[in-house]
Amino acid sequence: MKFLLTAVNAKYIHSNLGIYSLKAYAHAFISQKAEEEPQHSEAYKRIRIELAEYTINQQPDEILQDIYRQKPQVIGFSCYIWNIWHIRQILREIPKILPGTDIWLGGPEAFCNARRLLEEEPSVTGIMAGEGEGILADLAVYYGTNEIIPEEGLKDGYLRQIPGILFRDRQGQMVKTGDRPLLDLDTIPFPYTDLDGMEHRILYYESSRGCPYRCSYCLSSIDRTVRFRSLELVKRELDFFLNHKVPQVKFVDRTFNCKRSHALAVWKYLLEHDNGITNFHFEIAGDGIGQEELAVFGKMRKGLIQLETGVQSTNPQTIEEIRREMDLHRLGKAVAAINSCQNIHQHLDLIAGLPFEGLESFKKSFDDVYAMRPEQLQLGFLKVLSGSYMAEMAGEYGILYHETPPYEVLSTKWLTYEEILQLKAVEEMTEVYYNSRQFTQTLKEMEKHWESSYAMFEEMAWYYETRKLFGIRHNRLARYEILYDFLRQQGGDMEQYRDLLVCDLYLRENLKSRPSFARDLTPWKERIRLFFREEEKQPRYLKGYEGYDARQMGSMAHVEVMGDGSMILFDYKNRDALTYNAKAVKIDDQSSGRLCGG
């Protein structure tokens, strides 16, 4: 019997921790059952649980074909707001090509809409409406040992004994079983054993489950029970990632530092066992960071960890209304202290469409968070999730939102649809010009000439809108050309902006194509060639390039001439571990001081 656990991820680089965890737990459970019931051991040995991962960028028919070739007897889909539309297209076709195959749905988008999904999707056998690992294990045993159930009519009875499911019985009636007891997290086996094919993907890991907070827009607020994996087990499992030199591991803990001793122990362990490669991502409550954490952070390698904090809003009335707990003053101090270490990426998140947050209030929230100087300012839009308190209050708040996933806000009592569209345009400008980290030097200068950061991005968005530049896939060089023209329209110091834009461009990449606004380097070509010949004979700036001749050095590094005639060397073999920018040095400066933020 083959049970195929299927995930449709947002991107190829992502992996689905849920199905890996379900498989690991079920295998351990089935092995235990085989030992306890030797008379049925052969039936248990025939149970096969396999995984299939796809992306929403694949055509549904491509996914359908692959599922068909695997010939599963049972299929389980992991359902989220970003993939449910794709999954529903696929599952409607499965009975036509794999008649008799049972289909089970799990994940937040399934259990929060369980009854409606069963009503609308006749091909679905049932919904896993509780914690998935135990349910999947019970279902696998049920299907794998069907031949030892004495009478066909008793099979529904066996399903009724599995807590945490909603299923359609043989008469077509919906049956909801009892609540599922929560698992001890230490009983769930480590989900990763073989990393073949995972070399270029992000791996996800959880050291705790649940959240102590009750934010009204989040499904985690429904159950505030928090369970932790024991620290000794967590440390052994971190060793797996470190020993395999996994590029990035993202902790899915809802608020990683909600138990301070747990978070500190993990961060100290990573500091002590850093392999020089792996990056670990944590979602935290930034206002919960204290001096002890900062002392640990200050000793870390650049890029060892990155931190994400959901600020959501800086409007006190909004924060209170969404039941969020946050000390904005403490958060600002913590973010500034972490920034001063210059070794940790910080992501700060805002949500547009929250109660009591009109456009002017959101502009202030944006400016407040921008002033904290995170590496990324992520501007999201409220998703009104079924089962959340926000969904219950949608009428009271005048929230109108999409009826289909991801249930994103269209307007509220405080924010019109027109204003939502304005925020969408600002979001895109922020993503392109701030979060990309490709325009850092230029933006620093631009900020001096606008009354606020929001106003700056708003005007950039207006420029894009009036010139119909939205909706076009601009390449990187085009983004620089557009920004240069935007600044030219503003009437700024274009020689200064020319230098800053060229500096930003070459900090990140040694492009062979040059933007139209870049200076013609022809008058300096001989001087640049001479520089590389001298470096070949006696390296002064390009340490680590020994063995390369002048021509090779010239292709591996770049020299740019600024408006004052000075020459800047961009060294791509020596990049900043945090920003990935090239080391930038003024050639004429005997002290080899860094320039351009390199």
pLDDT tens digits, one per residue of 135-156: 999 999 999 887 545 444 446 6
Report the candidate in 416, 418, 447, 450 with the shortest Cα–Cα distance to residue 434. 447
Report the candidate in 143, 99, 190 with the shortest Cα–Cα distance to residue 1. 143
Contact between 17 and 241 under an 8 Å Cβ cutoff? The reply is no
| Residue 512 confidence (pLDDT) | 86
Residues 519 and 564: their CA atoms lie apart, in Å, by 12
Q: What is the pLDDT of residues 282-315, one digit of tens each?
A: 999 999 999 999 999 999 999 999 999 999 999 9
| Residue 42 confidence (pLDDT) | 87
| Residue 146 confidence (pLDDT) | 72
Q: Residue 595 above 70 pLDDT?
A: no
Estimate the crossing angle of helix 453-466 against helix 476-490, to 10 degrees. Answer: 110
| 3-state secondary structure at position 586 | strand
Mean pLDDT of the chain: 93
| Residue 187 confidence (pLDDT) | 97
| 3-state secondary structure at position 387 | coil
Q: What is the pLDDT of residues 372-401, one digit of tens each?
A: 999 999 999 999 999 899 999 999 999 999
Residue 169 makes CB contacts below 8 A (sequence gap 6+) with 156, 159, 175
Helix ranges (H only) for 155-198 are 155-160
Residues 362 and 318: their CA atoms lie apart, in Å, by 10
Q: What is the pLDDT of residues 532-555, one digit of tens each?
A: 999 999 999 998 898 999 999 999
DSSP letter at 408 equals B
Contact between 118 and 124 under an 8 Å Cβ cutoff? The reply is yes
> Where residue 221 falls among pLDDT bands split at 50, 70, 90?
low
β-pair type (2-9, 74-78): parallel
Q: What is the pLDDT of residues 15-57, one digit of tens each?
A: 999 999 999 999 999 999 999 998 888 888 899 999 999 999 9
Beta strands in 225-303 (DSSP E): 227-228, 248-251, 279-284
> Where residue 158 falls among pLDDT bands split at 50, 70, 90?
confident
| Residue 223 confidence (pLDDT) | 66
Structure tokens at 135: 């349910």
What is the value of pTM for the model shown?
A: 0.93
String of DSSP letters for 57-70? TS-HHHHHHHHHHH
Residues 30 and 33: their CA atoms lie apart, in Å, by 5
Element (H, E) at 75: strand 74-78
| Residue 590 confidence (pLDDT) | 42
- The arithmetic mean of pLDDT across residues 233-241, rounded, is 98
Q: What is the pLDDT of residues 87-125, one digit of tens each?
A: 999 999 999 999 999 999 999 999 989 999 999 999 999
Residues 90 and 101: their CA atoms lie apart, in Å, by 13
Q: Give the phi and the psi of residue 505 in degrees, each rounded to 5.
A: -60, -50
| Residue 147 confidence (pLDDT) | 55
DSSP letter at 564 equals T
Q: Residue 200 above 90 pLDDT?
A: no
Q: Residue 131 above 90 pLDDT?
A: yes
State CA 516 to chain mean position distance: 35
Torsion (CA) 248, 252, 258, 260 in degrees, nearest 10: -30
Looking at the chain, the whole-number percentage of residues with pLDDT higher than 90 is: 85
Q: What is the pLDDT of residues 456-483, one digit of tens each?
A: 999 999 999 999 999 999 999 999 999 9
| Residue 561 confidence (pLDDT) | 94
| Residue 170 confidence (pLDDT) | 80
| Residue 220 confidence (pLDDT) | 76
